[in-house]
Structure 1
Amino acid sequence: MESSLITEASLVEQGVQVLTDLLGPEWQVALRPIQSKAFDASLEVRAKGDSTFTRLLVEAPRAVPPRFAVERLLPKVQLLREVNQPTNLLVIAPWISSQARELLRRNRIAYLDLTGNVDIRVARPAIIIHTVGAEKAPRSAPGERSRTTLAGVKAGRLVRVLADVRPPHRATDLHRATRLSLPYVSRLLETLEDQLLIRRDGRIITDVDWGELLRARAQEISLLSRGSYRGFLAPNGVAALLHQFPQLPTEYVDGLSVTGSSAAQRFVQVAVGGQLMLYVAPSLNIDETADALGLLPVAEGADVLLLNEPDAFVRRGAEFIDGVQYVAASQAALDCLSGPGRMPAEGEALMDFMEAHPEQWRVSKNDIGASPVQH
């Protein structure tokens, strides 16, 4: 059955079948009549031949954004616990995001989605089930296909501004700063509010969870996606390469920016070594840039990667140090978190620094309209 056609009843039916299969033939899962309209179904679960059972009251929403979990599910489960009956809340959905699953686990709310993400823990009778399914929403998941996501260049612009500039914000401020259409900005803000990555009072954004926002964005992108970069060798070493930057023609000085581990090292001590990653502006040809830098193309063992710059916004807030342009802290964190190998750990170390020293990278609302590249 197509997910777009899933009804509440069929969702419950499929969830019951998944739970029955997980528990095995020695257990019984039965639907019981329910009079309360506050829940979608009631399940009775018991081991065969045992009089002890647990009752699971079911919520079967088509989508479970974190905001839904906080505003709808938490009050219900708190009420159930006050009643103090052997009853638990079970959320059955087509798919549940990792952030929503974490919220549910933290509040001891059982969940089951049709991709295989399951966490059910009951004291009597003793039931512990934890399985992992899809980390990304299936294309057919209800509401997910049309949802504005954190993937893509446009979302990257909005994420950077929200992270770098302290609130409050209005959608119109963000529209002007990012040069994105106001309808797009409004749709993405709705998604971010559902994910609890921003909070609003009316039309005013009052709080941004910039750390989780950067992590959520990083999950949707890959720094070294296929065809986005080429590897080279610096014959005299990376340090010597950086030392020659001030003598390069202006178009190279302005059009090249250091990101990844080398950019993170401006703020935190990370592992020695690693490849030098340079964004190359669209105005520059990668082969000509490699020649200007004296780099040699290699198939393996590259110590320099030239990356196609996806958008000039990656240079927003960039800083020149000794004639070399380094991306801003938030961009370096994003690129490390979405990079290979040890880079995500380096990104987390940089995020710890950013959390402890916001004054060194976040700016006030007065700077929201700053140009994409700052010298």
Structure 2
Amino acid sequence: MFAEQKNTALMTGSTFVAHALIDQLLASLRELPDVHVELAQAEPAAQAVGRADATIELQVAGKSIALLVEAKKSVYPRDVRQALWQLKSPQHDHYTNGQRLLIAESISPGAKELLRAERIGYFDSGGSLFLPAAGAYVYIDKPAPKALEKSVRSLFSGRRTQVLHALLVNHEQWFGVTDVAERAQVAPSTASDVLHELERFDWLTSRGQGPSKERHLREPGALLDAWAQQLATQRAPLLRRYFVPGLKSDALIERLGQLFATHEITYAVSQEAAAQRYAPFLSSISQTRVRLLPSPRADAAMAELGARVVNEGANFAIIETKSTGELLFRRQVGGIWLASPIQVYLDLLHGEGRARESAEHLRKERIGF
């Protein structure tokens, strides 16, 4: 099934990973009640094309099941879709004589969902097990292995998020590596790495070959969902809280726009104040939050505004940004610079009060996926 796609490490440099996974699988199966397990064959390094890496004889309450095991370094939705197509070829007819079972160090959530839908068993190094054999249905879901968590975490961090942002903002367009790198203000190598990862999740479609190859983000909703889920595991950005006397939200925003323009400060209003201008939802706003790079000019503008630092009772806050990349794709609406709808949505997920409701309204009415 997955033999044509095997990671080079499994095919050449190391059969240790495959053997270790098989041993771990055997141990997990032997922990199940009324189960007897025997390893009938294990040749991860030199099987014929389309052949299993191991065959396991499973006795469950007196019923015999042959598990045809294939090993892979990691599995993503793209791998599963390709494998399902390959299963239709004649060289895979032998799988009708047993229960297919994929083992890997890491299997992404999307890949697991596809495998379950096709009733293909799987096992990963985190201990998750799905075995849909007749008379022996087993489903154990455990946290993702650290290797997969680290890979996903790195995708949604640093300058890579600028590439994700560029793709989501321009999700209806086709683009090459150089194009998306320029839009995201990152090196082409960074853009290429991100595109490769997204292809593994099966969120991109492509056309052409070589330097002229173009991609299209066909699953923007899935990407945004994954980014939102990853944000939930991260700390909220640092806020500098202020109280500005005598100005309500709209007047405060207008005054900020004037001062920041005078002091030539790059900024972007975010959270509820920006969401209201994109897609009105709340009857009133108690706080205005702005993305801003700290600088002496920004401090001068705050002093001119009459803002004083507070711990409680703030009506204005600065979300401290670390680079201009965090202000990409801002939009000028009514003379005020607003963070992009995507950025506003993500910032709202870290907000307080009715921020999450505002986020969902913004996503439905303005973002649209």
Q: Is 1:31 the equivalent of 2:32?
A: no
Q: Is 1:204 the equivalent of 2:204?
A: no
Q: Residue 101 of structure 2 corresponds to which residue in structure 1?
A: 90
Write 1 or 2 for the structure with the bigger share of helix: 2
Aligned pairs (5 A) from 1:141-290: 144=151, 149-165=154-170, 166-201=172-207, 202=209, 203-208=212-217, 209-221=219-231, 225=235, 228-235=238-245, 237-250=248-261, 254-268=265-279, 270=281, 275-283=287-295, 290=302
Q: Is 1:331 the equivalent of 2:340?
A: no
Q: Is 1:42 the equivalent of 2:55?
A: yes
Q: 1:246 to 1:333 in 2, by over 3 A?
A: closer
Q: Residue 320 of structure 1 corresponds to which residue in structure 2?
A: 332
Q: 2:147 aligns with which of 137, 149, 152?
A: 137
The Cα shift of 1:355 comes to 6.0
- For 1:185, give the aligned amino acid: A
- Which ranges of structure 2 fall in alignment gaps of 5 or more residues? 1-9
Structure 1 contact 150–220 (Cα < 8 Å) conserved: no
Q: 1:223 to 1:46 in 2, by over 3 A?
A: closer
**Which whole-Å CA distance do the structure 2 matches of 1:305 and 1:29 have between them?**
61
> Which deviates more, 299-308 or 284-293?
284-293
Q: 1:307 aligns with which of 295, 306, 319?
A: 319
**Which whole-Å CA distance do the structure 1 matches of 2:155 and 2:356 have between them?**
18
Q: 1:149 to 1:237 in 2, by over 3 A?
A: same
Q: Residue 372 of structure 1 corresponds to which residue in structure 2?
A: none
Structure 1 contact 336–346 (Cα < 8 Å) conserved: yes
1:111 match: secondary structure: strand
Q: Residue 71 of structure 1 corresponds to which residue in structure 2?
A: 82
Structure 1 contact 337–348 (Cα < 8 Å) conserved: no
Structure 1 contact 66–99 (Cα < 8 Å) conserved: yes
Q: Residue 365 of structure 1 corresponds to which residue in structure 2?
A: none
* CA displacement 1:184-235 (0-9 Å, x = unmatched): 3222222222222222222422421222233334444579736632334455
> Which deviates more, 244-253 or 73-82?
73-82
1:305 match: secondary structure: strand
The Cα shift of 1:66 comes to 2.1
Q: Superposition RMSD on alpha carbons, in Å?
A: 3.9
Q: 1:18 aligns with which of 5, 28, 50?
A: 28
Q: 2:112 aligns with which of 95, 101, 104?
A: 101
Aligned pairs (5 A) from 1:103-118: 103-118=114-129
The two structures have a TM-score, normalised by structure 1, of: 0.75
Q: 1:44 to 1:163 in 2, by over 3 A?
A: same
Q: 1:285 to 1:117 in 2, by over 3 A?
A: farther
The Cα shift of 1:278 comes to 1.4
Structure 1 contact 253–324 (Cα < 8 Å) conserved: no
**Which whole-Å CA distance do the structure 2 matches of 1:284 and 1:78 have between them?**
67
Q: 1:60 to 1:83 in 2, by over 3 A?
A: closer
**Which whole-Å CA distance do the structure 2 matches of 1:344 and 1:89 have between them?**
42
- For 2:35, give the aligned amino acid: W
- Which ranges of structure 1 fall in alignment gaps of 5 or more residues? 359-375
Aligned-residue identity in percent = 24
The Cα shift of 1:295 comes to 3.9
The Cα shift of 1:110 comes to 2.3
Q: Residue 366 of structure 1 corresponds to which residue in structure 2?
A: none
- For 1:151, give the aligned amino acid: F
Greater RCO, 1 or 2 (C-alpha within 8 Å, sep 6+): 1
Aligned pairs (5 A) from 1:53-68: 53-68=64-79
The Cα shift of 1:243 comes to 4.4
**Which whole-Å CA distance do the structure 2 matches of 1:343 and 1:81 have between them?**
52
**Which whole-Å CA distance do the structure 1 matches of 2:354 and 2:58 have between them?**
45
Q: 1:300 to 1:91 in 2, by over 3 A?
A: farther
2:214 match: secondary structure: strand
The Cα shift of 1:61 comes to 0.5
1:248 match: secondary structure: helix
